[in-house]
Amino acid sequence: MKTNDEPVRTIKTCMTPEMAKMFNGDSRSGREAADKADRGRCAIQAYEIAGNKVTYRITCGDRLMESTTTFHGDSSEGDLTTTRTAEGVKRVDHTHTTAKRVGACK
């Protein structure tokens, strides 16, 4: 993943079956899974699954996060824009992510 002008970062994440529900169903079931995972910390304003594309808009406190991810079999590519205002200063971060399934969770 790459955020703004920062160096590229590589992370490994285990996607549980519960997490996969946010991406592998329809808009309603995806939103329900996202709401359950969030446990009331944020407000989901929009959540849509259309074909291989998942888009959402979420607010968490002073942060607005807008994301689009496109899935291609065992890989994905996405963009996240996070906007926040702290002490009267607006900051916008753009993160581009490419991901690939590397195997089962351990």
pTM listed for this prediction: 0.82
- Residues 2 and 94: their CA atoms lie apart, in Å, by 8
pLDDT digits (tens, 9 = 90+) for 82-101: 999 888 899 999 999 999 98
Note the pLDDT of residue 8: 95
Strand order in the sheet with 53-60: 2-3, 89-100, 75-86, 63-72, 53-60, 43-50
Any idea what DSSP says for residue 7? P
Are 87 and 93 in contact by the 8 Å Cβ rule? The answer is no
**How does pLDDT run across 16-64, given as a tens digit for each residue?**
777 777 777 778 877 777 877 777 788 889 999 999 999 999 998 889 9
Distance from C-alpha of 23 to C-alpha of 90, rounded to nearest angstrom:
30
pLDDT at 39: 74
